[in-house]
A = this chain, B = another copy of it.
Amino acid sequence: MEILFEFLKTTGFAMMTWGNALMIIVGIFFVSLAIIKDYEPLLLLPIGFGAIVGNIPSIDSMALNVYQEGSVLSFLYLGVSKGIYPPLIFLGIGAMTDFSAMLSNPKLVLLGAAAQIGIFLTLIGALYLGFSPSESGAIGIIGGADGPTAIFLSSKLAPHLLGSIAIAAYSYMALVPVIQPPIMRLLTTKKERLIRMKEPRHVSQREKIIFPVAVFLISALIAPGSIVLIGMLCLGNLLKESCVTERLANTARNAMIDTVTIILGFSVGASAQAQTFLTSQSLLVFALGAISFGIATAGGVVFAKCMNLFLKDKINPLIGAAGVSAVPDSARVVQMVGQKEDPHNFLLMHAMAPNVAGVLGSAIAAGILWSIFVK
Protein backbone atom coordinates (compact mmCIF):
# COMPACT_ATOMS: atom_id res chain seq x y z
CA MET A 1 0.00 0.00 0.00
CA GLU A 2 3.07 2.19 0.21
CA ILE A 3 2.81 3.14 -3.47
CA LEU A 4 -0.78 4.22 -2.97
CA PHE A 5 0.18 6.46 -0.03
CA GLU A 6 3.23 7.81 -1.85
CA PHE A 7 0.96 8.55 -4.78
CA LEU A 8 -1.65 10.23 -2.61
CA LYS A 9 1.05 12.66 -1.48
CA THR A 10 1.49 13.73 -5.11
CA THR A 11 -2.20 14.45 -5.67
CA GLY A 12 -3.44 17.96 -5.99
CA PHE A 13 -5.63 17.63 -2.90
CA ALA A 14 -2.64 17.06 -0.69
CA MET A 15 -0.70 20.09 -1.87
CA MET A 16 -3.47 22.56 -2.56
CA THR A 17 -3.03 25.97 -0.98
CA TRP A 18 -5.74 28.52 -0.26
CA GLY A 19 -4.17 30.69 -2.89
CA ASN A 20 -4.47 27.98 -5.53
CA ALA A 21 -8.09 27.39 -4.61
CA LEU A 22 -8.80 31.10 -4.87
CA MET A 23 -7.12 31.34 -8.27
CA ILE A 24 -9.10 28.34 -9.52
CA ILE A 25 -12.27 30.14 -8.47
CA VAL A 26 -11.02 33.29 -10.24
CA GLY A 27 -10.40 31.15 -13.35
CA ILE A 28 -13.93 29.73 -13.18
CA PHE A 29 -15.22 33.28 -12.75
CA PHE A 30 -13.37 34.41 -15.90
CA VAL A 31 -14.75 31.47 -17.86
CA SER A 32 -18.26 32.22 -16.61
CA LEU A 33 -17.93 35.89 -17.49
CA ALA A 34 -16.83 34.91 -21.00
CA ILE A 35 -19.71 32.48 -21.49
CA ILE A 36 -22.56 34.16 -19.65
CA LYS A 37 -21.75 37.82 -20.27
CA ASP A 38 -19.99 37.28 -23.63
CA TYR A 39 -17.16 39.60 -22.43
CA GLU A 40 -14.14 39.12 -24.73
CA PRO A 41 -14.75 35.35 -24.79
CA LEU A 42 -11.89 34.67 -27.21
CA LEU A 43 -9.48 35.75 -24.53
CA LEU A 44 -11.17 35.44 -21.16
CA LEU A 45 -12.12 31.82 -21.76
CA PRO A 46 -8.60 30.54 -22.55
CA ILE A 47 -7.09 32.78 -19.84
CA GLY A 48 -9.62 31.62 -17.26
CA PHE A 49 -9.16 27.98 -18.12
CA GLY A 50 -5.39 28.50 -18.11
CA ALA A 51 -5.62 29.94 -14.59
CA ILE A 52 -7.48 26.81 -13.47
CA VAL A 53 -4.86 24.56 -15.04
CA GLY A 54 -1.93 26.61 -13.73
CA ASN A 55 -3.13 26.37 -10.14
CA ILE A 56 -3.42 22.62 -9.84
CA PRO A 57 -0.51 21.88 -7.54
CA SER A 58 1.97 19.19 -8.48
CA ILE A 59 5.27 17.80 -7.30
CA ASP A 60 8.27 19.64 -8.69
CA SER A 61 9.88 16.62 -10.31
CA MET A 62 7.04 16.30 -12.83
CA ALA A 63 7.74 19.67 -14.52
CA LEU A 64 4.20 20.68 -15.30
CA ASN A 65 3.89 24.44 -14.92
CA VAL A 66 5.00 27.27 -17.20
CA TYR A 67 7.96 28.16 -14.98
CA GLN A 68 9.52 24.69 -14.94
CA GLU A 69 12.19 24.09 -17.56
CA GLY A 70 11.29 21.38 -20.01
CA SER A 71 7.58 21.26 -19.24
CA VAL A 72 5.13 21.38 -22.12
CA LEU A 73 3.57 24.56 -20.78
CA SER A 74 7.01 26.19 -20.57
CA PHE A 75 7.41 25.65 -24.32
CA LEU A 76 4.01 27.15 -25.07
CA TYR A 77 4.85 30.02 -22.72
CA LEU A 78 8.05 30.84 -24.66
CA GLY A 79 5.91 32.69 -27.20
CA VAL A 80 4.67 34.90 -24.38
CA SER A 81 7.95 35.41 -22.53
CA LYS A 82 9.90 36.11 -25.72
CA GLY A 83 7.18 38.42 -27.04
CA ILE A 84 6.54 36.31 -30.17
CA TYR A 85 2.77 35.84 -29.95
CA PRO A 86 1.78 39.53 -29.76
CA PRO A 87 3.24 40.44 -33.19
CA LEU A 88 1.52 37.38 -34.71
CA ILE A 89 -1.78 38.52 -33.19
CA PHE A 90 -1.12 41.95 -34.69
CA LEU A 91 -0.54 40.34 -38.10
CA GLY A 92 -3.99 38.80 -37.90
CA ILE A 93 -5.58 42.00 -36.58
CA GLY A 94 -4.01 43.92 -39.46
CA ALA A 95 -5.51 41.44 -41.90
CA MET A 96 -8.98 42.05 -40.47
CA THR A 97 -8.84 45.80 -39.88
CA ASP A 98 -10.37 48.28 -42.27
CA PHE A 99 -8.77 51.70 -41.86
CA SER A 100 -11.37 53.40 -44.09
CA ALA A 101 -13.07 55.29 -41.29
CA MET A 102 -9.75 56.75 -40.22
CA LEU A 103 -8.63 57.55 -43.76
CA SER A 104 -11.81 59.42 -44.47
CA ASN A 105 -11.49 61.67 -41.43
CA PRO A 106 -7.83 62.19 -40.56
CA LYS A 107 -8.29 64.66 -37.72
CA LEU A 108 -9.95 61.94 -35.62
CA VAL A 109 -6.53 60.23 -35.51
CA LEU A 110 -5.50 62.73 -32.84
CA LEU A 111 -8.09 61.29 -30.46
CA GLY A 112 -6.13 58.04 -30.59
CA ALA A 113 -3.10 59.98 -29.36
CA ALA A 114 -4.97 61.84 -26.61
CA ALA A 115 -6.24 58.64 -24.99
CA GLN A 116 -2.66 57.48 -24.42
CA ILE A 117 -2.43 59.98 -21.56
CA GLY A 118 -3.83 57.09 -19.52
CA ILE A 119 -0.57 55.25 -20.04
CA PHE A 120 1.69 58.03 -18.87
CA LEU A 121 -0.34 59.24 -15.90
CA THR A 122 -0.58 55.65 -14.69
CA LEU A 123 3.19 55.43 -15.01
CA ILE A 124 3.44 58.39 -12.65
CA GLY A 125 0.99 56.71 -10.31
CA ALA A 126 3.01 53.51 -10.34
CA LEU A 127 6.21 55.43 -9.58
CA TYR A 128 4.39 57.10 -6.71
CA LEU A 129 3.42 53.71 -5.29
CA GLY A 130 7.04 52.63 -5.30
CA PHE A 131 7.35 50.56 -8.47
CA SER A 132 10.66 50.82 -10.28
CA PRO A 133 10.73 52.99 -13.43
CA SER A 134 10.61 50.08 -15.86
CA GLU A 135 7.91 48.30 -13.85
CA SER A 136 5.97 51.56 -13.92
CA GLY A 137 6.29 51.73 -17.69
CA ALA A 138 4.97 48.20 -18.04
CA ILE A 139 2.07 48.89 -15.67
CA GLY A 140 1.24 52.13 -17.45
CA ILE A 141 0.74 50.29 -20.74
CA ILE A 142 -2.44 48.74 -19.31
CA GLY A 143 -3.92 52.16 -20.07
CA GLY A 144 -3.33 51.46 -23.74
CA ALA A 145 -6.21 48.97 -23.52
CA ASP A 146 -4.34 46.60 -25.79
CA GLY A 147 -3.63 43.06 -24.65
CA PRO A 148 -0.91 42.07 -27.11
CA THR A 149 0.90 45.38 -26.64
CA ALA A 150 0.75 44.99 -22.87
CA ILE A 151 2.19 41.47 -23.08
CA PHE A 152 4.89 42.57 -25.50
CA LEU A 153 6.08 45.50 -23.38
CA SER A 154 5.90 43.63 -20.06
CA SER A 155 7.95 40.79 -21.50
CA LYS A 156 10.65 43.35 -22.23
CA LEU A 157 10.46 45.62 -19.17
CA ALA A 158 9.00 43.61 -16.30
CA PRO A 159 8.67 39.89 -17.01
CA HIS A 160 7.86 39.16 -13.36
CA LEU A 161 4.71 41.30 -13.62
CA LEU A 162 3.68 39.94 -17.04
CA GLY A 163 0.88 37.76 -15.66
CA SER A 164 -0.76 40.50 -13.62
CA ILE A 165 -0.38 43.12 -16.32
CA ALA A 166 -1.75 40.89 -19.08
CA ILE A 167 -4.69 39.71 -17.03
CA ALA A 168 -5.45 43.23 -15.82
CA ALA A 169 -5.35 44.50 -19.41
CA TYR A 170 -7.66 41.80 -20.72
CA SER A 171 -9.99 42.05 -17.71
CA TYR A 172 -10.53 45.75 -18.14
CA MET A 173 -10.82 45.38 -21.91
CA ALA A 174 -13.67 42.96 -21.17
CA LEU A 175 -15.17 45.54 -18.83
CA VAL A 176 -15.02 48.42 -21.34
CA PRO A 177 -18.85 48.47 -21.59
CA VAL A 178 -18.98 48.87 -17.80
CA ILE A 179 -16.10 51.29 -17.22
CA GLN A 180 -16.48 53.76 -20.05
CA PRO A 181 -20.16 54.88 -20.15
CA PRO A 182 -20.33 56.65 -16.76
CA ILE A 183 -17.13 58.59 -17.49
CA MET A 184 -18.38 59.51 -20.94
CA ARG A 185 -21.68 60.81 -19.55
CA LEU A 186 -19.99 62.68 -16.72
CA LEU A 187 -17.74 64.63 -19.08
CA THR A 188 -20.24 65.53 -21.80
CA THR A 189 -23.42 67.59 -21.93
CA LYS A 190 -26.60 66.19 -23.43
CA LYS A 191 -26.21 68.68 -26.27
CA GLU A 192 -22.74 67.38 -27.06
CA ARG A 193 -23.93 63.76 -27.00
CA LEU A 194 -26.58 64.67 -29.59
CA ILE A 195 -24.05 66.00 -32.14
CA ARG A 196 -24.41 64.24 -35.47
CA MET A 197 -21.32 63.91 -37.61
CA LYS A 198 -20.88 64.36 -41.33
CA GLU A 199 -21.05 61.23 -43.43
CA PRO A 200 -17.50 60.01 -44.13
CA ARG A 201 -16.16 60.31 -47.67
CA HIS A 202 -15.39 57.34 -49.88
CA VAL A 203 -11.80 56.08 -49.61
CA SER A 204 -10.09 54.70 -52.72
CA GLN A 205 -8.35 51.33 -52.74
CA ARG A 206 -5.11 53.08 -53.65
CA GLU A 207 -5.21 55.08 -50.42
CA LYS A 208 -5.86 51.92 -48.44
CA ILE A 209 -2.84 50.25 -50.03
CA ILE A 210 -0.44 53.15 -49.51
CA PHE A 211 -1.57 53.76 -45.95
CA PRO A 212 -0.07 50.71 -44.16
CA VAL A 213 3.35 51.31 -45.73
CA ALA A 214 3.31 55.02 -44.91
CA VAL A 215 2.04 54.68 -41.37
CA PHE A 216 4.64 52.01 -40.69
CA LEU A 217 7.45 54.27 -41.87
CA ILE A 218 6.20 57.20 -39.81
CA SER A 219 5.74 55.17 -36.61
CA ALA A 220 8.89 53.14 -37.00
CA LEU A 221 11.18 56.06 -37.72
CA ILE A 222 9.82 58.06 -34.79
CA ALA A 223 9.59 55.15 -32.34
CA PRO A 224 11.70 52.18 -33.48
CA GLY A 225 10.50 50.21 -30.45
CA SER A 226 7.15 49.89 -32.19
CA ILE A 227 8.70 48.27 -35.30
CA VAL A 228 7.65 44.73 -34.51
CA LEU A 229 4.06 45.36 -33.48
CA ILE A 230 3.20 48.04 -36.04
CA GLY A 231 5.26 46.25 -38.70
CA MET A 232 3.16 43.13 -38.33
CA LEU A 233 -0.08 45.11 -38.13
CA CYS A 234 0.78 46.93 -41.35
CA LEU A 235 1.98 43.79 -43.12
CA GLY A 236 -1.32 42.10 -42.26
CA ASN A 237 -3.24 45.11 -43.48
CA LEU A 238 -1.24 45.26 -46.70
CA LEU A 239 -1.90 41.56 -47.30
CA LYS A 240 -5.60 42.38 -46.99
CA GLU A 241 -5.78 45.63 -48.95
CA SER A 242 -3.39 44.73 -51.77
CA CYS A 243 -6.01 42.32 -53.19
CA VAL A 244 -3.21 40.13 -54.60
CA THR A 245 -2.48 38.16 -51.45
CA GLU A 246 -6.01 37.49 -50.32
CA ARG A 247 -5.26 33.88 -49.45
CA LEU A 248 -2.46 34.92 -47.08
CA ALA A 249 -4.65 37.55 -45.44
CA ASN A 250 -7.36 34.99 -45.00
CA THR A 251 -5.09 32.53 -43.24
CA ALA A 252 -3.58 35.29 -41.11
CA ARG A 253 -6.96 36.42 -39.82
CA ASN A 254 -8.35 32.93 -39.30
CA ALA A 255 -6.27 29.80 -38.68
CA MET A 256 -3.13 31.72 -37.70
CA ILE A 257 -4.60 34.24 -35.27
CA ASP A 258 -6.96 31.65 -33.76
CA THR A 259 -4.17 29.19 -33.03
CA VAL A 260 -2.01 31.88 -31.45
CA THR A 261 -4.96 33.29 -29.50
CA ILE A 262 -5.76 29.94 -27.88
CA ILE A 263 -2.17 29.25 -26.88
CA LEU A 264 -1.43 32.81 -25.80
CA GLY A 265 -4.54 33.03 -23.63
CA PHE A 266 -4.05 29.60 -22.15
CA SER A 267 -0.41 30.11 -21.27
CA VAL A 268 -0.91 33.62 -19.89
CA GLY A 269 -3.64 32.18 -17.68
CA ALA A 270 -1.46 29.28 -16.65
CA SER A 271 1.28 31.71 -15.65
CA ALA A 272 -1.05 33.23 -13.05
CA GLN A 273 -0.14 30.81 -10.29
CA ALA A 274 -1.14 31.80 -6.79
CA GLN A 275 2.51 31.59 -5.68
CA THR A 276 3.64 34.31 -8.09
CA PHE A 277 0.35 36.07 -8.74
CA LEU A 278 -1.30 36.61 -5.34
CA THR A 279 0.93 39.43 -4.18
CA SER A 280 0.24 42.94 -3.03
CA GLN A 281 1.97 44.09 -6.23
CA SER A 282 -0.69 42.37 -8.32
CA LEU A 283 -3.43 44.14 -6.37
CA LEU A 284 -1.73 47.48 -7.01
CA VAL A 285 -1.37 46.60 -10.69
CA PHE A 286 -5.11 45.91 -10.90
CA ALA A 287 -5.96 49.13 -9.07
CA LEU A 288 -3.66 51.18 -11.31
CA GLY A 289 -5.07 49.42 -14.36
CA ALA A 290 -8.63 50.42 -13.52
CA ILE A 291 -7.55 54.02 -13.03
CA SER A 292 -5.60 54.03 -16.30
CA PHE A 293 -8.67 52.97 -18.28
CA GLY A 294 -10.65 55.76 -16.68
CA ILE A 295 -7.98 58.36 -17.44
CA ALA A 296 -7.62 57.16 -21.03
CA THR A 297 -11.36 57.46 -21.58
CA ALA A 298 -11.45 60.90 -20.04
CA GLY A 299 -8.39 61.95 -22.03
CA GLY A 300 -10.04 61.12 -25.31
CA VAL A 301 -13.35 62.78 -24.46
CA VAL A 302 -11.78 65.96 -23.10
CA PHE A 303 -9.45 66.28 -26.08
CA ALA A 304 -12.42 65.92 -28.44
CA LYS A 305 -14.11 68.80 -26.60
CA CYS A 306 -10.94 70.88 -26.97
CA MET A 307 -10.82 70.13 -30.69
CA ASN A 308 -14.39 71.34 -31.00
CA LEU A 309 -13.22 74.79 -29.88
CA PHE A 310 -11.36 75.07 -33.19
CA LEU A 311 -13.53 73.06 -35.57
CA LYS A 312 -16.43 74.19 -37.68
CA ASP A 313 -17.84 70.67 -38.17
CA LYS A 314 -18.13 69.67 -34.54
CA ILE A 315 -17.05 66.23 -33.35
CA ASN A 316 -19.36 64.32 -31.05
CA PRO A 317 -17.04 64.15 -28.02
CA LEU A 318 -18.30 60.67 -27.14
CA ILE A 319 -16.10 59.27 -29.88
CA GLY A 320 -13.06 60.50 -27.96
CA ALA A 321 -13.65 57.55 -25.63
CA ALA A 322 -12.93 55.24 -28.55
CA GLY A 323 -9.34 56.54 -28.59
CA VAL A 324 -8.36 53.56 -26.44
CA SER A 325 -7.35 50.59 -28.54
CA ALA A 326 -10.06 48.18 -27.41
CA VAL A 327 -11.26 47.44 -30.95
CA PRO A 328 -14.18 47.28 -31.60
CA ASP A 329 -15.63 47.32 -28.08
CA SER A 330 -14.99 51.00 -27.41
CA ALA A 331 -16.53 52.02 -30.72
CA ARG A 332 -19.59 49.97 -29.87
CA VAL A 333 -19.86 51.59 -26.47
CA VAL A 334 -19.78 55.00 -28.16
CA GLN A 335 -22.57 53.89 -30.50
CA MET A 336 -24.60 52.61 -27.55
CA VAL A 337 -24.19 55.71 -25.40
CA GLY A 338 -24.96 57.95 -28.38
CA GLN A 339 -28.10 56.03 -29.25
CA LYS A 340 -29.42 56.36 -25.70
CA GLU A 341 -29.79 60.07 -26.42
CA ASP A 342 -30.79 59.83 -30.07
CA PRO A 343 -31.66 56.41 -31.50
CA HIS A 344 -31.04 57.72 -35.02
CA ASN A 345 -27.48 58.90 -34.43
CA PHE A 346 -25.05 56.37 -35.87
CA LEU A 347 -21.63 57.00 -34.37
CA LEU A 348 -20.13 53.55 -34.87
CA MET A 349 -18.21 54.21 -38.08
CA HIS A 350 -16.96 57.55 -36.82
CA ALA A 351 -15.78 55.94 -33.59
CA MET A 352 -13.83 53.31 -35.53
CA ALA A 353 -11.42 56.08 -36.62
CA PRO A 354 -10.05 56.93 -33.15
CA ASN A 355 -10.39 53.27 -32.22
CA VAL A 356 -7.92 52.00 -34.83
CA ALA A 357 -5.78 55.10 -34.28
CA GLY A 358 -5.69 54.04 -30.64
CA VAL A 359 -4.13 50.73 -31.64
CA LEU A 360 -1.36 52.66 -33.39
CA GLY A 361 -1.08 55.13 -30.51
CA SER A 362 -0.71 52.48 -27.85
CA ALA A 363 1.84 50.52 -29.88
CA ILE A 364 3.85 53.71 -30.44
CA ALA A 365 3.66 54.53 -26.75
CA ALA A 366 4.92 51.03 -25.99
CA GLY A 367 7.81 51.58 -28.38
CA ILE A 368 8.67 54.86 -26.66
CA LEU A 369 8.60 53.29 -23.20
CA TRP A 370 10.77 50.43 -24.37
CA SER A 371 13.34 52.87 -25.82
CA ILE A 372 13.42 54.88 -22.60
CA PHE A 373 13.69 51.98 -20.17
CA VAL A 374 15.72 49.43 -22.06
CA LYS A 375 19.00 48.85 -20.28
Contacts and interface: CB of A to CB of B under 8 A. Distances in A.
A245 interface: yes
A282 to B, nearest CB: 23
Contact of A10 (B59, B91, B224, B247): B224
Size range of the chain A interface in the assembly = 35 or more
A124 interface: no
Nearest to A74: B82
Contacts of A19: none
A13 B223 CA distance: 10
A238 interface: yes
A291 interface: no
A375 B61 CA distance: 7
Contacts of A250: 258
Nearest to A3: B372
Contacts of A247: 42, 254, 258
A53 interface: yes
Interface string A75-88: 11000001110010
Q: How many identical chains are in the complex?
A: 3
A262 B252 contact: yes
B248 A261 contact: yes
Contact of A82 (B75, B84, B91, B251): B75
26 contacts: A16-B221, A35-B209, A41-B242, A42-B247, A45-B244, A46-B235, A49-B234, A50-B235, A52-B217, A53-B231, A59-B374, A61-B374, A61-B375, A62-B225, A72-B84, A239-B262, A247-B254, A248-B258, A248-B261, A248-B262, A250-B258, A251-B254, A251-B259, A252-B262, A256-B258, A256-B262
Given A35-B243, A56-B220, 15 more contacts: A11-B224, A12-B220, A13-B222, A31-B213, A41-B245, A45-B244, A49-B231, A53-B220, A57-B224, A64-B227, A72-B228, A75-B84, A248-B258, A252-B262, A256-B259
